[in-house]
Chain A
Amino acid sequence: MNKDKSVLQGCLSTISHQSNLMKQNLNDNNLLVALKNSSNFLNELRVNQLSPKQYYELYISIFDSLEYLCNHLAGSYNMKKKKNKDTSFLSDLYELVQYSGNIVPRLYMMIAVGTTFISTGDAPTEAIMKDMIEMCRGVQNPIRGLFLRYYLSQKIKDLLPISNEHEFNNTVEFLINNFIEMNKLWVRLQHQGHSSERELRYKERKELKILVGSNLVRLSQIIDDYNDDHYSSSNFYMKKIFPIITEQIIQCIDPLAQSYLIDVIIQIFPVNFHFKTLNELLTKVILNLNPMLNKSELIDTLIDRFINYNDDEINLNDFEKPEDFEILKKSLFDNFWKFYLSLVDKNLPIKEHSNILVNYLKLSINFDRDNYENLNRIYQFLSEYNFDENEGENVENLHEKEEIWLNLLIIPIRNFESIINLLNLPFFSEIFNKLTNKSYQKTICLEILNKLLDAEDIIITSTDDIDIVFKYLLVLIKESTELNISTKMGITKSFKINDNKTLTNDFLTNQNKICKILSKLNHKSTDFSNKVSDLIYIKKKYLSKNISSIILTYPTLIQLILNNLRFLGMIRKSDIKVVNQFKGLSMILDELYEYHGDYYSDLIVSLYLNLAIVCDSLNLSTLTFEIFNKIFIIFEEKLILGQGSPSNLLNINNDPHNSLNYNSIQYQTIVTVVNKLYFVRNLSKDDYQSLITKVTLYGSKLLKKQDQCRGVFNCSHLFWWTEPSPYQVEDSEEKDEEESKETKETEETKETEETKETEDHEEPEEIVEPKEKYLFKDDKRVLECLQKSLRTADSCIDPYLSNQLFIEILNKCLVFEIYGNEMITANYINRLIELIKTNLDNLVDTNNLKDNDDKEFKLYVEIKSFFNRTLTFIEQQKEDEERFLDIET
């Protein structure tokens, strides 16, 4: 390499030296000496040791020097012509330089002088051109020959005569001739030297390729530039240029030449030419290229050209478009497809199949976005074609094949508008089903899922659509819960359900996404009945297929059905169909309970409660009553017996003194039930009383004293209604169609609270007009509850807890006092305050509480301040609450 470099430097300095001499001699008017100088530096081009790149450096340097010579000659010619002197020296010179000793310098000189002569406009152009191109045959050394001919083409490119048809034809012939000869030299280079140098030759030829391609660039330029009445450049290309040059390319058999030159043809001729010659290019040219050649690269380039053209189409004026553009566009895919079918007979490597088909997908997506037939053709072919025919079926082949399938299935999912149409292609699903690698199937399903989530419009509008989509989503629903190694080792995240089952984080995410799809299902439709039946259909056919999925998807499903049923109920009242659908929903809940009741009973209870509240708001009192009974059964079965796991309370530090810190799942459930039951308004009095009595009983039987006490005093509210139910549905004329979120509903109903009519409880049938709100009140029961709580609190062994509970009960009493319960008198409250005071004093005395750091002392301070706050509250209330006046703090 270093040796080559010094050779190059040597050559370059000779050229520079001789070139300087030449310039000097030209300036001194020593033309002949100057020509000798040029001949000297041109001799350097006979060097053998240089690589094409290095030779190109010599060429550039010489080119510059010869330009100087040419400019000088042209300058003196013009000068002489101006002065009307004899200008024959150029033609003489053209003859003279041919006596130069060596052929390479001679021909460069000839071209330099010849083209300068032509540039004067006074030369026999045709003859000189013919002469030059003929003489070039004399150099058969490939590298020298190629550069020489490149020089010819570079020098003559602006001088090519095209002023009439004859000249134009000659020019085209000249360029084609030069192209053919250069291609021959280029191909021949491969076979020179020892066979061990084949790689080196190949490398050299790769460097030289642009010289050969330059001829095609000139051709492309010249057929654009030529202008004539009956001339159409694309027709000329199709009839004259294309057949000749492609013939050459096919005949040379050389893979490098073929792949490069076809690439150049694709790149430098305009796309509308390619539209016209597409069929020939594919079936007559590319199909007949060297079998070793990878055709997919050429197809890639060609299709890219078409796609870019289509993207820019609006920019093209009609001149630049082929006349029958629309028709050509339509037949584009057909042409490519025909080509592919003939190609596959030729034992194509599997990678080639894939590359070509990916490009076909791109083409189809770009040109004919709504045409799914082309896609189906591709998939049909994939499913029917036996790729392994010649390679034998083995694991590796199968793997490779499926990887290709995967790619071909994913591209359109990402790019096509309507995923439903795509998924509905019969052969799309066939290929999908043929995939033996389940992780590929999963990848595709995830793509589908994400595409559905990204879509802004409603995609799934009919039961058919549901089947089309969920057939794929089912893969994610049914996904095996078996864990792979990395999950087992805790490398990837996992979570547990039902104690024994571990699921991956991915599975959780996917089910979450499926839930989102459920809520997007036709979400703008007001046909609630249809939406409900769609949801139930999905549940039956798909969601119920995997127990692990049930726990993750059913809660959303149930809530969605419930929302729709609520609207439906508001429209249709207690239509028997609606009642049946509620029953159906209750059964879905039962199913969830069946599978997951053991571990998620608290979740199930809250879902049942939502259902009950909606039923009540629609005045379906029988159903409401039954659902509450069901809730009690769950409570007894799973919670009292202690099996229901506190799904989200595991880490709470149980502090009995803190009433907000729920002590047990059972207690929490009671409070939740009470909260909902408190707003149930449409049950018959008997039913209601039976329910609240039961719940109070459960409260009183909780395990711990503090739970019992708090349970019961919370239940006391059930006997003393103070406000209308926020869940109550008004018999409004307007049905809101948009709101499906429960929170919004609540707000809405709150707004209309004032005007709402509530039904008389004991005679629910007789509703005539809006009348005074009836509120269920049983002061005796309230007192009983409070008494029961007091007794429980008193029986606590822990004196601090006992007093804490007393103060909590005191606060309850105040509430009932405010809301006018006659049984809770000022006297009653005073006695309670007195009791607490005494107890607290006793606490200090007996336990000798002084030390600030003492835990008990702190506890005492907390309770004391709670008590004080309560007393302060009473004092403040006295200002506007008459009833408080009698309370002594």
Chain B
Amino acid sequence: MSGRKKTLLKVIILGDSGVGKTSLMQQFVNNKFSHQYKATIGADFLTKDITIDGNKQVTLQIWDTAGQERFQSLGVAFYRGADCCVLCYDVTNEKSLNNLSSWKDEFLVQSNVSNPQDFPFIIIGNKIDVDENKKISSLSKKLNNITNNQLGGLNYPVFETSAKDAINVESAFEVVAKMALQQEELNDANGNDVSDDYNDAINIHLEGDSGNCAC
């Protein structure tokens, strides 16, 4: 085989409706922003090739999801195999901040990751371009409560971004990519790719030489 294959890293963006998930992804991948709000239907991804640490070429497959449940009618099978999960909130919407932990829980339940304890999440607070008076009051304190809560705290890196003015978006996704790569390497090393779970529960009707693939 000629040439090294590029590592594919799967990233899921979650958060309440209207926090700017699509805008963040569009800003990162296409450097575009539109004020026109369009709801996201179902889930879809964009890919972007980036270089980490100056030498590692990776392809980020970023999944944008519908914040409105009615547009997620087929379920969330695409969570599987994710390498990193981005939890988004809107700095002007306190409810979206408070919902972060339920998004995290939902992800862990549905994605079936092998290391839920140390699976890489990051938190992005979007829309920092808005007027100060529109922002959640004493935001940093509330955020601190959420991230440092002993019981199910979201002790993850936090970025405050503006998809509109392209503030911090690049650097946030750089961290996302690094964390995802680490997770991917961890999975490779353990050989516990999600697909192996199925090999354990293998059905009799398959050809008997299923063990051979492990070499």
A210 touches B6 (CB 8 A): no
Q: A10-B205, A56-B75, A79-B3 are in contact. Are A211 and B42 (CB under 8 A)?
A: yes
**Chain A hits for B5, CB < 8 A:** 71-72, 75
**Chain A hits for B46, CB < 8 A:** 158
Q: A9-B201, A211-B74, A214-B42 are in contact. Are A224 and B1 (CB under 8 A)?
A: no
Interface residues of A in 202-228 (CB under 8 A from B): 206-211, 213-214, 216-217, 220, 224
A60 touches B41 (CB 8 A): no
**Closest chain B residue to A64 by CB distance?**
B81
A455 interface hit (Cβ, 8 Å): no
B137 interface hit (Cβ, 8 Å): no
A224 to B33, CA, bound (A): 12
A289 to B177, CA, bound (A): 47
A20 touches B195 (CB 8 A): yes
**Chain B hits for A213, CB < 8 A:** 41-42, 71
**Chain B nearest CB, measured from A77 CB (Å):** 11
A16 to B203, CA, bound (A): 12
**Chain B hits for A9, CB < 8 A:** 198, 201, 203
Interface residues of B in 60-98 (CB under 8 A from A): 66, 71-75, 77-78, 80-81
**Chain A hits for B8, CB < 8 A:** 67, 71
B210 touches A17 (CB 8 A): yes
Report the count of interface residues on B (CB-CB < 8 A).
Answer: 40
Q: A20-B195, A64-B81 are in contact. Are A267 and B39 (CB under 8 A)?
A: yes
A747 to B130, CA, bound (A): 51
A209 to B3, CA, bound (A): 41
**Chain A nearest CB, measured from B4 CB (Å):** 9
A268 to B71, CA, bound (A): 12
Which of B1, B36, B47 gathers the greatest number of chain A CB atoms within 10 Å? B36
Chain A 251-270: CB-based contact to B (< 8 A → 1; otherwise 0): 00000000000001001111
A14 interface hit (Cβ, 8 Å): yes
A270 touches B38 (CB 8 A): yes
Interface residues of A in 69-107 (CB under 8 A from B): 71-72, 75-76, 79
Q: A67-B8, A71-B8 are in contact. Are A267 and B201 (CB under 8 A)?
A: no
**Chain A hits for B196, CB < 8 A:** 16
Interface residues of A in 312-350 (CB under 8 A from B): 312, 315-317, 320
B77 touches A60 (CB 8 A): yes
**Chain B hits for A16, CB < 8 A:** 195-196, 198-199
**Chain A hits for B34, CB < 8 A:** 224, 320
A315 touches B35 (CB 8 A): yes
**Chain B hits for A24, CB < 8 A:** 213
B102 interface hit (Cβ, 8 Å): no
**Chain A hits for B213, CB < 8 A:** 17, 20-21, 24
A53 to B71, CA, bound (A): 13
Interface residues of A in 21-75 (CB under 8 A from B): 21, 24, 26-27, 29, 52-53, 56-57, 59-61, 64, 67, 71-72, 75
B35 touches A316 (CB 8 A): yes
B106 interface hit (Cβ, 8 Å): no
**Chain A nearest CB, measured from B164 CB (Å):** 9
Interchain CB contact (< 8 A) of A56 among B35, B77, B202? B77
Interchain CB contact (< 8 A) of B73 among A20, A60, A79, A209? A209
**Chain A hits for B198, CB < 8 A:** 9, 12-13, 16-17
B105 interface hit (Cβ, 8 Å): no
A494 to B83, CA, bound (A): 66
B38 touches A154 (CB 8 A): no
A57 to B80, CA, bound (A): 9
A19 interface hit (Cβ, 8 Å): yes
B151 interface hit (Cβ, 8 Å): no
A13 touches B1 (CB 8 A): no
Interface residues of B in 24-46 (CB under 8 A from A): 34-42, 44, 46
Q: A24-B213, A210-B42, A213-B41 are in contact. Are A53 and B75 (CB under 8 A)?
A: yes
Q: A17-B199, A21-B213 are in contact. Are A53 and B74 (CB under 8 A)?
A: yes
**Chain B hits for A67, CB < 8 A:** 8
B74 touches A210 (CB 8 A): yes
**Closest chain B residue to A12 by CB distance?**
B198
Q: A71-B6, A210-B72 are in contact. Are A308 and B1 (CB under 8 A)?
A: no
A588 interface hit (Cβ, 8 Å): no
A271 interface hit (Cβ, 8 Å): yes
Interchain CB contact (< 8 A) of A214 among B36, B41, B199, B205? B41
B133 interface hit (Cβ, 8 Å): no
**Chain A nearest CB, measured from B6 CB (Å):** 7
Interface residues of A in 142-183 (CB under 8 A from B): 154, 157-158
A268 touches B74 (CB 8 A): no
B206 interface hit (Cβ, 8 Å): yes
Interchain CB contact (< 8 A) of B38 among A21, A61, A269? A269
**Chain A hits for B6, CB < 8 A:** 71, 75
**Chain A hits for B78, CB < 8 A:** 60
A217 touches B41 (CB 8 A): yes
**Closest chain B residue to A76 by CB distance?**
B2
Interface residues of A in 267-301 (CB under 8 A from B): 267-272
A312 to B127, CA, bound (A): 14
Q: A60-B78, A71-B8, A213-B41 are in contact. Are A206 and B73 (CB under 8 A)?
A: yes
**Closest chain A residue to B79 by CB distance?**
A60
A220 touches B38 (CB 8 A): yes
**Closest chain A residue to B41 by CB distance?**
A213
**Chain B hits for A264, CB < 8 A:** 41
**Chain A hits for B42, CB < 8 A:** 210-211, 213-214, 217
**Closest chain A residue to B75 by CB distance?**
A53
B1 touches A27 (CB 8 A): yes
A268 to B41, CA, bound (A): 8
Interface residues of B in 1-28 (CB under 8 A from A): 1-3, 5-6, 8
Interchain CB contact (< 8 A) of B74 among A12, A56, A317? A56
**Chain B hits for A316, CB < 8 A:** 35-36
**Closest chain B residue to A68 by CB distance?**
B8
Q: A72-B5, A79-B3, A312-B35 are in contact. Are A57 and B41 (CB under 8 A)?
A: no
A271 to B37, CA, bound (A): 8
**Closest chain A residue to B80 by CB distance?**
A60
A9 to B204, CA, bound (A): 12
**Chain A hits for B206, CB < 8 A:** 13-14, 17
A189 to B137, CA, bound (A): 51
**Chain B hits for A61, CB < 8 A:** 77, 80
**Chain B nearest CB, measured from A185 CB (Å):** 15
**Chain B hits for A267, CB < 8 A:** 38-39, 41
Q: A13-B201, A29-B1, A75-B5 are in contact. Are A210 and B36 (CB under 8 A)?
A: no
**Chain A hits for B39, CB < 8 A:** 267-268
A57 touches B2 (CB 8 A): no
A471 to B40, CA, bound (A): 51
A210 touches B35 (CB 8 A): no
Chain B 157-201: CB-based contact to A (< 8 A → 1; otherwise 0): 000000000000000000000000000000000000001101101
**Closest chain B residue to A213 by CB distance?**
B41
A267 to B38, CA, bound (A): 6
A224 to B203, CA, bound (A): 49
**Closest chain B residue to A83 by CB distance?**
B2
A17 to B203, CA, bound (A): 11
**Chain B nearest CB, measured from A221 CB (Å):** 9
**Chain A hits for B80, CB < 8 A:** 57, 60-61
**Chain A nearest CB, measured from B107 CB (Å):** 15
**Chain B hits for A320, CB < 8 A:** 34-36
**Closest chain B residue to A79 by CB distance?**
B2
**Chain B hits for A208, CB < 8 A:** 73-74
Question: What are 26 A-B contacts with C-beta separation under 8 Å?
Answer: A13-B198, A13-B206, A14-B203, A17-B199, A24-B213, A59-B77, A67-B8, A71-B6, A76-B2, A79-B2, A157-B44, A158-B46, A208-B74, A210-B41, A213-B41, A214-B44, A224-B34, A267-B39, A267-B41, A268-B39, A268-B41, A270-B36, A271-B36, A312-B35, A312-B37, A315-B35
Interface contacts beyond A61-B77, A64-B81: sample of 9 additional A-B pairs, CB < 8 Å, sorted by A: A9-B198, A13-B203, A16-B195, A16-B199, A20-B213, A53-B74, A75-B5, A270-B36, A315-B35
